[in-house]
Amino acid sequence: MDDHTARTDGGDRPTALRADGGRRSSDDTRIGVDVGGTFTDVALTVDDRLVTAKVPTTDPQQLGVLEGIRKACDRAAIDPGEIDAFAHAMTVSVNALLERGGAKTALVTTEGFRDVLEIGRQNRPDLYDLEAEKPDPLVPRQRRFEIGERTTTEGIERPADPDEVRDLAATLRESDVEAVAVCLLHAYADPENERLVAETLREECEVPVSASHEVLAEFREFERTSTTTVDAYVRPAIDRYVGRLVDEAEDAGIPAPRIMQANGGIADPETVREHAVTTTLSGPAAGVVGAAATVDDADVEGLVTFDMGGTSSDVSLVRDGRAERTTDAEIDGLPIRTPIVDVNTVGAGGGSIAWVDAGGALRVGPRSAGADPGPACYGRGGTEPTVTDANVVLGYIGPETALGGEMTLDVEAARASLERLADEAGLESALEAARGVYRVANATMTRTIRAVTVERGHDPREFAVVAFGGAGPMHAAALADSLEVDRVVVPRPGGVLSAFGLLAADESYDAVRTVGVELDTADPAELEEVYDGLVADVLADASDPDAARVERAADCRYAGQSFELTVPVDESFDATAVAERFHEAHERAYGYAMDESLEVVNLRATATIPGTEPAVRHDGTGDARLGTREAQFPGTGESGTGPRETTVYDRDRLESGTTVSGPAVLEQAESTTVVPPNWGGEILDDGTLVMSRTADEEEVSER
């Protein structure tokens, strides 16, 4: 049977493309740029053409961003000044948190609560590790200050003293702090004291001031303090970066960038400069948005999005066409309670370094070779073995492959790095070491997928995997095999899907306020008054309030529970409908519901202006076969793993309706897709590849 055959049976085609989803098609020239740990990805649409580019990530990041824009514009034969819209996702805030490279921050809080950040919760990072340590707080004790005020859930008991605040401002100026976080006890219930403190410090100190009632008007003192402190800590870096990018974009004739927020929506530069905490996990959120916008989940339980880049792998869920969000997230042990696309990240990417631990076991990550020097095969001086080097030795990435369309590979350097690893691990050869690295990396990523499916009560076999990122499509089928998932979808711009997702993103703003009332006795008129304020807040941030769609929600729980579930609320508050939705949500999440009274903890409002999904065409020429090369696959050979003659295709040339049988490798400038022997794939009208399990190994071998 030929490895590359066109469909002639006229049968049903796999579903991958979303319908219009309520969006409008757009013909304008738009560009999305996503900064990753190793590469900066670019997706440019010109009329119905899609042009992509990938350049190494730089420090500072805006240099690589502008280089990527120029590169994409050159490929599209347009001037940067012809771009109509620019959307951007970056890693400035998350890098500042992970590397502890944020601003010199002070914390101002209520007298007696100076150490909330350090005390935190009683939860242990590792239950059975007697020596486990919590991360150091972002603000050391000598920069945490107290104010003699007192607010309760019922209102102000002791007003803040303006003279005391001015004296504190003088102390802060002498301390040369670069940002201030203000988080007073129960300021979510009555922000009067906190507002006075924040406004006075803004007048007296020439540094940004983050106030908790503006960042997160929600109860739970530790999480509110942590979130506000994170906002202050990353705010100067975000302000500098976004400001410089806006200026340089203007100099190049490019519109000001709209910035991807962690909630999956874009916002204007001024909004994110004032609410810096919303930019954490900006890039991973864009990838999930791209998957939700381009792949239909109508005939499956949902989508498992699998984004494997150079530094890490990000896994999330899409259900009912929408990215799942959470308000219970952590970055490097720091709680962040703002709405965030629910992404699980593991330090296993293409650039993750393989090493041998003290017990002689092979490990992969979390340390990464980054973009400079990068994996050994990049030929830039890197010598440590990485996942990418293993994929080169296994034959998944060929010596003629040009990463990013231009970076040639040094196969011998990759092999030499794996030989050194083999010697250290007591393995026989570089090939055996490469197999081990591939298996360990896959096992790590499989555990992450199980964490968002099995551990949450979902059967992964009922989902489809959407693979993207530079390395995601290379590993996706192997992960699906281990999870018994039958379908893998690789969108055409899979190597730069986070950048493409920016082009389809909605504009979105969130607001929350704690109310803490029993559902049965709650006064609907009082709740409506709170909603009116929340709606006014989110519409005030929207670029076009008249075009915004407002959604209301409530965080509810059974009386006595310590966690909440969010349920939608109609235009008028209906306690019966809220109760029914909560019971359904609880049963869906935990497998049961109870006949207990409910509490309404928080009210939420979200304003959304729908994006316009780019309409791009796929023009495969049919002349796609590039040749063959030997690649290693499990399940063959006497040792259970062995070489197979593998057909190599230029994926962009594959025509719609083409079927591809494994083993095969589909190459693009920004990513490579591996189709194992027991898998096959079909190209849809927009160039999306849908891979399905086809047969057992014995049947495949007969082909």
What are the tens digits of pLDDT across the range 526-560? 999 999 999 999 999 898 999 999 999 999 999 98
User: 442-493 pLDDT, tens per residue?
Assistant: 999 999 999 999 988 889 999 999 999 989 999 999 999 999 999 999 999 9
What is the Cα–Cα distance from 364 to 437, expressed in whole angstroms?
A: 7
Helix (H, G, I), strand (E, B) or coil at 284: helix
Q: Fill in the DSSP letter of residue 102.
A: S
**CA-to-CA distance for 105 and 115, rounded, in angstroms?**
15
User: DSSP string covering 289-336, please?
Assistant: HHHHHHS--TTSSEEEEEEE-SS-EEEEEEETTEE-EES-EEETTEEE
Tell me: cis bond preceding 284? Omega within 30 of 0 counts.
Answer: no
Q: For residues 273 and 92, what is the distance between their CA atoms, to the nearest angstrom? A: 12
> Domain end: 609, 644, 666, which one?
609
Answer with the one of 200, 217, 232 that is the final residue of a domain: 232
- At residue 296, the pLDDT reads 83
pLDDT digits (tens, 9 = 90+) for 363-412: 998 888 877 788 999 888 889 999 999 999 999 998 876 555 556 788 99
| Domain membership flag for residue 464 | yes
Q: Is the pLDDT of residue 125 over 80?
A: no
In this structure, the answer to whether residues 75 and 117 fall within a common structural domain is: no
| Cα 343 from Cα 597, distance rounded (Å) | 32
Return left, alpha or beta for 143; rule: phi > 0 is left, psi -120 to 50 is alpha, else beta: alpha
Question: 18 in a domain, yes or no?
Answer: no
| CATH code of the domain containing 164 | 3.40.50
Q: Phi and psi (nearest 5°) for 101?
A: -110, 25
- Burial of 231: CB neighbours in 10 Å, binned 0-12, 13-18, 19+: buried
Domain count, the chain: 4
pLDDT level of residue 702 (50, 70, 90 thresholds): very low
> What is the pTM (predicted TM-score) of this model?
0.85
Q: What is the 3-state secondary structure (H, E, C) of 551-598?
A: EEEEEEEECCCCCCEEEEECCCCCHHHHHHHHHHHHHHHHCCCCCCCE
Rounded to the nearest 10 degrees, how much is the dihedral formed by the CA atoms of 606, 612, 613, 616? -170
414 within some domain = yes
Same domain, 423 and 528: no
- What CATH code is carried by the domain that includes residue 259? 3.30.420.40
Structural domain that includes position 54: 30-96+239-279
Which uninterrupted H or E stretch holds 692? strand 689-693
Q: Which residues of 443-482 are buried (b: 16+ CB within 10 A; e: fewer)?
A: ebbbebbbebbeeeebebeebbbbbbbbbbbbbbbbbbbe
**pLDDT at 268 exceeding the cut of 90:** yes
- Residues 515, 564: one domain? yes
The token pair at 558 is: 């059974």
pLDDT above 90: percentage of residues in the chain: 70
CB distance 341 to 285 below 8 Å: yes
Instruction: Name 589's Cβ contacts closer than 8 Å, sequence gap at least 6.
Output: 456, 457, 565
* Summary mean pLDDT of the chain: 88
Q: How far from the centroid of its chain's Cα atoms is residue 67's Cα?
A: 23
591 and 659 share a domain? Answer: no
Residue 300's pLDDT is 87
Residue-wise DSSP of 146-211: EES-EEETTEEEE---HHHHHHHHHHHHHHT-SEEEEE-TTTTT--HHHHHHHHHHHHH-SS-EEE
For tokens 């705010």, what's the residue? 235
Residue among 320, 237, 238, 300 at smallest CA distance from 271 = 238
Residue 402 is predicted with a pLDDT of 58
* pLDDT tens digits, one per residue of 623-635: 899 999 999 998 6
Q: Is residue 496 part of a domain?
A: no
Q: For the residues 665-672, what does the mean pLDDT come to? A: 90
Q: Which pLDDT belongs to residue 403?
A: 59
Would 340 be classed as within a structural domain?
no
Indicate whether 391 and 435 sit together in one domain. Answer: yes
637 and 595 within one domain: no
Listed in sequence order, the DSSP H helices in 77-120 are: 92-98, 116-119
33 beta partners: 42, 88
Q: Examine the domain organization and report whether 446 and 564 are in the same domain.
A: no
> CATH number, domain at 554?
3.30.1490
Task: Say if 320 falls within a structural domain.
Answer: no
Q: Which residues contact 439 (CB under 8 A, 6 or more apart)?
A: none
Strand-pairing partners, residue 411, are none
Q: Are residues 92 and 168 in the same domain?
A: no
Q: Tell me, yes or no, whether 214 and 133 share the same domain.
A: yes
- Encode pLDDT of 505-527 as tens digits: 999 999 999 999 999 999 999 99
What are the pLDDT digits (tens) for 54-108?
888 888 899 999 999 999 999 999 999 999 999 999 989 988 888 889 999 999 9
Asked whether residue 603 falls in the same domain as residue 475, the answer is no
Same domain, 191 and 218: yes
Neighbours of 100 (CB within 10 A): 11
Q: Are residues 530 and 409 in the same domain?
A: no
Over range 134-155, report the average pLDDT.
Answer: 93
Single out the residue of 269, 265, 281, 268 nearest to residue 336, CA to CA. 281
Q: Where are the alpha helices (DSSP H) in 408-462?
A: 411-425, 430-452
- For residue 321, the model assigns a pLDDT of 86
Q: Tell me the C-alpha distance between 103 and 85, whole Å.
A: 31
Residue 210 resides in a domain: yes
DSSP summary character for residue 277: G
pLDDT confidence of residue 641: 62
What DSSP assignment string belongs to 368-387?
Answer: E-TTTT-SGGG-SS--S-BH
pLDDT of residue 12: 38
Confidence label for 2 from pLDDT (cuts 50, 70 and 90): very low
Start-end of H helices in 484-523: 497-504
Q: If you ran DSSP here, which 8-state letter would residue 619 be given? A: -
What's the rounded mean pLDDT across residues 548-575? Answer: 94
What are 308-359's pLDDT values in tens digits?
Answer: 988 888 999 998 888 888 888 888 889 999 999 999 888 888 999 999 998 8
Q: Is 413 left (phi over 0), alpha (psi -120 to 50) or beta?
A: alpha
Q: List beta partners, residue 343.
A: 316
Of 609, 627, 650, the residue that ends a domain is 609
Quote the percentage of the chain above a pLDDT of 70. 93
Is 416 inside a domain boundary?
A: yes
